[in-house]
Chain A
Amino acid sequence: MSVTQHLSYDVLNSLQEIMEDDFGFLIETFIQDSQDRLEKLHRLIGSDDFDSVRRAAHSFKGSCSNLGALRLVSLCAVLERKALVKDIANLGIDLAEIEEEFLIVHQKMLDFIA
C-alpha cells in the first residue's frame, strides 16, 4: 500500500483544466467535504451501524477518486470491505490511517494550488 502515490497529478491537472478559475473552490469544497465525512465516520465507528460505515466509506472513496487522492481511495476501500463483512477488529486503526493520509493530501493539495 505504501507504494501507492498520495496524489495523481494527472487527475489534478485535468481537473484544473476543466474547472479553470473554480479549481481552488473545488479543492476547498473537497477539503470541507472530507472533514465532514471523517467526523461522520468517527461517530459511526463507535456504533454498530456497519451499513452506514460502509456507505460513508464508499462515498468518501468515490470523492477521493475524483480528486486523484489514490492512497485515500485504497484506504477507504479497505474500510468499506471490512464494514461489509462486519470485520470490527481494528476499524479505529483503519480510520486513523485515513485521517493521517488526509492530512498529507490536504497539505499537498494546498501546495498544488499555491
Chain B
Amino acid sequence: MNDSRSLKILVADDTDADRLILETIVRKEGHQVFSAKNGLEAVAIFQQEHPDIVLLDALMPEMDGFDAARQIKHLAGDEIVPIIFLTSLQDTESLVRCLDAGGDDFLSKPYNRVILKAKIKSFNRMRGLHNTMITQRDQLAQHHQRLLQEQTVAKQVFDNVAHSGCLNASNVRYFLSSLAVFNGDVVVAAIRPNGNMMVLLGDFTGHGLPAAIGAMPLASTFYGMVHKGFSMSDVLREINKKLKAILPIGLFCCATMIDFNFRRKRLKVWNGGLPAGMIYRQADGSITPMRSTHLPLGVLPEKNFKDDAQFYDVEEGDRIFMWSDGIHEARNLDGDMFGEERLLEVFAKGSEPVNVFDDILASVKNFIGSGEQDDDLSMIEIRMDAPENLVHPNHYFIHRQQLSPVEWEMRFEVKPTSFKSFDPLPFLLNVLTEEPDLRGFSGSLYTILAELYSNALEHGVLNLSGNLKKSPEGFAEYYTQREKLLSKITDGFVHIYVAYSSNIEGGSLTLRVEDSGSGFDYNARQGKILSTTGYSGRGIGIVEKLCKTVRYYGSGNKVEAVFAWINDD
C-alpha cells in the first residue's frame, strides 16, 4: 500500500481548465497525477497505471464518466479503488446514476482544495482498511486450506496406523465420520494370536488436533500389543500409562475395550467412561448393558489404574454394540438429547437383528432433523460368529498360529568362576517374558527361579546349612560364610533346564535345577510342605504354593518345579 502522502490519482475531465485546477491541487498534496480527457482514456490509463483513487467527470465525450466508472470497478475486481465523481449535477436522478455506476462520492464545482484533500485522505484510509481486510481474508483462506491439508495428511497417517487391524472383518460393521479422528473418536480392532478379536472404541475429550493427538499412540500401542498376544489388561495398562504421560491435564480418553472370545463365546469387557454398550441377544431380543465401571484412560497414574473386567457369556448371532456419546448427545431442533431411553426404544421395536444397526442410525438422524450435529456419531457392531466363519485380512496367518502349540526348551549352566559375580535371574526372566502369556507372571517366575537357584547355590554347591538362618544372629553369620565361600570356590556347577509348552487352553513351564552338591534327605520333608516355619525353608513353601508340582530327584540335588496356567480370555 502506498504511503498516504504519495498516491497515484487519476483525473479525468474534458474541460482543460477544470482538469488543470484539479491536477495542480492533487500534485500539491504530494500525489502522482495521471490525466485523461475522456472516459476511454481514463479506462486505458487505469489499466496501465493502477491508480489508487479516480476523480471522474460525469459528462465527457467518447465515453462518459458513468461507463468509465463501471469499467474501472470491473477491472479493479477485489481491490477497492474509490471513484469520486466531479460534478455540478444536482438532481437526485443524476446523483443516483453516479452511485449506481460505482461512484463512491462527489466533488462539486467550484473545487475546494480543503474538501478534496479531506476526501482523498478519507478514501485512502478506507482503501487501507479494505486492503488489510482482503489480505487477512486471503491469509485466513490460506490458513484454512493449510489446516485442511494438514488434517488430510494427519488422517492418512492415522488411517494407516488405525486400519491395519480387522475393522473390515466379516462380522464387524462400523459408522464413523470421515474425519472422526478430529472429533476425538477412534476405533481399533485386531485379532490376537489365539483367535480372539480385541476391539477398542475411544472418545478423546475435545475436538480438532488436540483430540486427535492421543489417537496415534493409542492405536499404535493397541496394534503393537494385540498382535503379540498381550492380554487386555496389559494393553489397557500400557495405553493408560502412555496417555497419562503425554496428554495434558483435562485431556483423556473415554473408552470401551472388549476381548471377543469366539471359541468360548465369551466377552471380557472394560468400560471407562463411555455410555454403556449393549449386547443384543438373538434368542429373545433382550439386551444387556455393559456399563462403565472405571475412570477413562489417561486419568489415573499407573499404580492406581484398575484393569478388572466384566465377563459376559454370549451366543452365536448375538450382536454387540459400542458407541461414543455422539448418539446419546445428538440434539434435535428443540435442543433435547437423543439419550439412552430412545436408544433402548429402537431395540424394543424388535426389528430383525441384522437391521438394528441401520435402525439406530436412521432413528438418530430422524431425531436430529435439520438440527446441528454437536458431536459426530461413532458406532460399531460386532456379531458373534463361529471362529471358522470369521473372514478378516490376516485370517490365514492367525489360523495357522492359533492351531499350532508352542514348545521349546533350553539348558543353562552357571560355572564356578561366575558364582560370585553373575546373577542368571534377570537373563532367564528376560527370555521367559518374551512369551506373552508368561509376561503377566513375571513376579511369580522370579520368586520361583530365585528360590530354586539360591537353594542350589547355597545349600548345594556351597553346602551351607539352612539351620543357621533360624536366628537373626545366624542370618548374618550365614551371609558372611556365603561371601567367604564364594570368593574361593573353584569347582561345582548349577544346571538350569527350562521347558515351555503352550497351546490355546494354557500352558506349562517346567524348571529343573541341578547342583553339584550332595543333596539332602527330601523324603524327610514330605508332609510338612507348608508347615515350615521360621526363617529357613520359608522360600520353598512359597514355590510349592505357586507351582503345580515341586519334586526332588536323585540325592536331593535335583529339583523340578512345574508352573502351569490356563488362558482365561
* A35-79 with Cβ < 8 A to chain B: 55, 58-59, 61-63, 65-68
20 pairs, CB–CB < 8 Å, chain A vs chain B: A11-B110, A14-B113, A15-B21, A18-B24, A18-B25, A22-B24, A25-B20, A29-B16, A29-B17, A30-B17, A55-B59, A58-B59, A58-B88, A62-B18, A62-B109, A63-B109, A65-B110, A66-B17, A66-B21, A66-B111
Q: How far is the CB of A23 from chain B (nearest CB, A)?
A: 10
Q: How far is the CB of B162 from chain A (nearest CB, A)?
A: 75
Which listed residue, B15, B88, B89, B113, touches A18 by the CB 8 Å rule? B113
> What total count of A-B pairs have CB within 8 Å?
55
**Chain B residues with CB below 8 A from A26, complex form:** 17, 20-21
Bound-complex Cα distance A55 to B64 (A): 11
Interface string of B1-40 (1 = CB under 8 A from A): 0000000000000111110110011001000000000000
**Chain A residues with CB below 8 A from B88, complex form:** 58, 61-62, 65
The reply on A100 being an interface residue by CB < 8 A is no
Known: A62-B88, A65-B88, A66-B111. A32 touches B16 (CB 8 A): yes
**Chain B residues with CB below 8 A from A32, complex form:** 16
The reply on A19 being an interface residue by CB < 8 A is yes
Interface string of A8-33 (1 = CB under 8 A from B): 00010011001100100110011011
Task: Give the A-binding residues of B (Cβ under 8 A).
Answer: 14-18, 20-21, 24-25, 28, 59, 86-89, 109-111, 113
Q: How far is the CB of A62 from chain B (nearest CB, A)?
A: 4
Contact A62 B15, beta carbon cutoff 8 Å: yes
Q: How far is the CB of B179 from chain A (nearest CB, A)?
A: 63
Task: Give the B-binding residues of A (Cβ under 8 A).
Answer: 11, 14-15, 18-19, 22, 25-26, 29-30, 32-33, 55, 58-59, 61-63, 65-68
Contact B20 A62, beta carbon cutoff 8 Å: no
Contact B15 A33, beta carbon cutoff 8 Å: yes
Known: A18-B24, A58-B59, A58-B88. A63 touches B18 (CB 8 A): yes
Residue of B17, B24, B113 most packed against chain A (CB within 10 A): B17
**Chain B residues with CB below 8 A from A61, complex form:** 88
**Chain A residues with CB below 8 A from B111, complex form:** 66
Which residue of A has the minimal Cβ distance to B60?
A: A59
**Chain A residues with CB below 8 A from B16, complex form:** 29, 32-33
Bound-complex Cα distance A100 to B568 (A): 120
**Chain A residues with CB below 8 A from B109, complex form:** 62-63, 65-66
Which residue of B has the minimal Cβ distance to A36?
A: B16
Q: How far is the CB of B226 from chain A (nearest CB, A)?
A: 87
Contact A67 B17, beta carbon cutoff 8 Å: yes
Residue of A18, A63, A65, A67 most packed against chain B (CB within 10 A): A63
Which listed residue, B28, B59, B89, B110, touches A66 by the CB 8 Å rule? B110
Which residue of A has the minimal Cβ distance to B22?
A: A66
Which listed residue, A19, A59, A62, touches B24 by the CB 8 Å rule? A19
Known: A58-B59, A65-B109, A68-B110. A18 touches B14 (CB 8 A): no
Bound-complex Cα distance A63 to B87 (A): 10
Bound-complex Cα distance A63 to B18 (A): 6
Which residue of A has the minimal Cβ distance to B14?
A: A59
Bound-complex Cα distance A19 to B22 (A): 10
